[in-house]
Amino acid sequence: MLFLDVLRKKREGHHLSPQEIAFIVKGYSYGEIPDYQMSALLMAICLRGMDDEETASLTEEMLRSGEVIRPEEIPGPKVDKHSTGGVGDKVSLVLSPLAASLGVKVPMVSGRSLGHTGGTLDKLESIPGFRTQLSLMEFKQNVNRIGVSIIGATKELVPADGKLYALRDVTSTVECIPLITASILSKKFAAGIDGLVLDVKTGSGAFMKGLEEARSLARSLMQTAQRMGKPAIALVTGMDQPLGRMVGNATEVQEAMEILHGGGPPDVVELTLELGYQMLRLAGLCQDRQEARRQLRSALEDGSAWRKFRELVECQGGRLRCLEDFHGLISKRVHVVTSQTHGYVNAIDTHKMGQAAVVLGAGRRRLGDKIDPSVGYEVLAKLGDRVEKAQPLARVFYRGEADLKEARNLLLDAYNFSPERPSPPPLVYETLEHTSK
């Protein structure tokens, strides 16, 4: 089998067989297919698409590119959560220890920043010493010991996704439903989970900007999970403004810690409670929504979730003493971006907000870029807020004047004002379910 023949076939819009997809994934994983050829195939897939069978085959081959944890290796109900990416989305930092504090085993295989969106692994690595590249043995031991562990794709676990994830980020092939589906589900199912809760974002800050696009991605994820015999629930949620107040890496960890102490922005708390309820459902621990949310809120308020977060940090090498004064890890160079007009915040181009974080150094422009965990910004005006001229819109934590200038312009361009107060968009648009094996 020749790679050029497979590439030509997909370029012309034809169906790839399971054997051809296996050839691609194995060849790229073993270094036999170079990045430049794989980039061409990724673009062909983006332009021509994949049907359900191809998507399931790609997911299966990526899943099998490394080791797969057997269910019996981590006893107990194992449920994970995944977000398709947004700006300011730090829910995983809160939800994983929160669910674990209530008895759910959470073996979370997560990702890094992708395009204009942030990554859970980058955020956690802003905690000095925190290791996201654990061996498979360490990963399993941590989940069995404290109920939760968060790692990235490794040479042992889904190595094909680790390579493809980085390549997609720098080849403009991020917003492709089959590639997103295979990337998410291969990582999640390799960890041996029993069920999966999906947060599929829609809006200006999401990869799937239109509601119907987000529904299509949610259906693809659900259908592929069904083919692979895993119960899943997908929430389609809004990303027409940053989630919470903080955007960045250390900045978002700081906000997550506020929530774990019983505070934090209402939108992040609400989404965390709703996703947590679905995790408890799939784990078989609580089917009543009101009771599940009561338990989740109680775990935030009584310190149970915070203690579990500290256990997670300690187990993965993070320095606990740094958590006591985490603000000290955020850049001391601060600039306040002020409004140049007045009115109600009518719309926010959240993609530009994400780009602002990238130019500050909180994300990657090119493969191999190093992230600065100390930079980011605080959102001071959100949808529906009344803003006067010269009123602060954002507080920026920056490293260099050139970065600041570009980020400031993006933040100003992101805001749109009107004389009338707009109706707020919903936080959760709808819920899709496939819960039977």
Active-site residue, from 161, 267, 349, 403: 161
Distance CA 375, CA 240 (A): 22
Radius of gyration of the chain (CA): 21
Of 350, 353, 349, 347, the C-alpha closest to 383 is 347
Tell me the β-bridge partners of 196: 80, 232
| Token pair 């983006």 in the structure block, residue | 46
Active-site residue, from 82, 90, 112, 230: 82
Note if 110 is an active site residue. no
Active-site residue, from 126, 183, 204, 331: 183
Distance CA 168, CA 184 (A): 13
Note if 302 is an active site residue. no
Active-site residue, from 187, 230, 245, 352: 187
Distance CA 407, CA 375 (A): 11
Note if 83 is an active site residue. no
Distance CA 107, CA 283 (A): 13
So which residues are the catalytic ones?
Answer: 82, 161, 168, 183, 187
